[in-house]
Amino acid sequence: MKEAIRRRAAELGFDACHFTTAHAPASRENFQQWLAKGWHGGMEYLSRNAPKRIEPEKVLVAARTIVTLAVNYGSPSLVKEGRLAASKSGECGDQRENFSAPINVVVAGQIARYAQYQDYHDVLRDPLKSLASFIDDLAGAGTRSLWYIDTGPFLERDLAQRSGLGFIGKHTNLIHRQLGNWIFLAEIITTTEIEPDSPEQNRCGTCDRCITACPTAAIAAPFQLDARRCISYLTIELKDAIPVELRPLIGDRIYGCDDCLTVCPWNRFAREGELMKKHARKDLMLPDLIKLLSLDEAGFREMFAGTPILRTKRRGLLRNVCVALGNVGNETVLPALERAATDPEPLIAEHARWAIDAIIARHPGS
């Protein structure tokens, strides 16, 4: 049964398939301590469903096995094409060194690599549903399986490590020895009893590149992330104003951050993911910040339809765009920011005013 499930998973496009029990992860106390510190910030859903997260058997009565799955979204060709496009157009692909774009140059923003595709929840839904049905059919009558794509109340990285799929790195993300850390995770919890795989051990060694690479020092210590300082949290999960002291550290990032993932040496083994490749959105590699700032509600929905970026809503994305322009823009972007400063959405207007002040301070007399 185990090998049959693995073969079917591979046929459906999954890059890795492992098995573990439905028992509570040994790391559940670490999660509870993390919540107690308040490091989850405004992600109240994490504390709300904590009892299920620390006890998977509460998700599905009589559960015996959790199937952990990975899909690689690493895309070396997209990165190469993005840099080439930036070079040809004069865009600054990486503006974080000096945080200042030359006059009359298109000012591009950075979007986390995973969001440069159609929404992975939509892409993986059918393959995962098919695999869950396959398990039920294979196991026979009375079997029940539920599937989740990072939406279920699981400590999915902990379960993935226990299943041998990968190990949790010092940046708190999962690392697969053959795929690197550019992976989406999914799970199927089932009443079928399947022999568990052996756990994976941590293989970070003395490496601390991810810790030193974090622009906001969000990785407080190895394996300890203060989400309140993480750029992914600040630009995606946070619904209110970005703390003023953290805005300059965001640089040109407008949706998520890949810095701690990018520097991981295990990525030297990463390969381009086949399942996600055909769902790439090349127009999101280096988006023009001025064009984004001009989007109305209809334009925002049209441009980002079917992508994870919809979840930030227009107010959240344009808030982020204003901060990025404040960090890397010059006097040529001031007219666009002045228009944004009159936006009826207060969150956008306030961040636009901050950006104007930041540019004027950097370019006196502008």
Residue type, 18: H
Three-class DSSP category at 59? coil
Which are the contacts of 113, defined by CB distance < 8 A and separation ≥ 6? 73, 74, 75, 78, 79, 182, 258, 261
DSSP H helices in the chain: 2-11, 28-37, 44-48, 50-54, 76-89, 120-139, 156-162, 209-213, 231-232, 259-262, 274-277, 289-293, 297-303, 313-328, 334-340, 346-362
DSSP H helices in 106-155: 120-139
Nearest alpha-carbon partner for 165 in 12, 6, 1: 6
CB-based contact 312:108 (threshold 8 Å): no
CB-based contact 55:175 (threshold 8 Å): no
Q: What amino acid positions are annotated as catalytic residues?
A: 150
User: 16-21 and 65-72 as β-strands: parallel, antiparallel, unpaired?
Assistant: antiparallel
Three-class DSSP category at 189? strand
DSSP-derived secondary structure letter, 193: -
Place of tokens 């400063």: 341
Rounded Cα distance, 362 and 100, in Å: 9
Rounded Cα distance, 84 and 99, in Å: 21
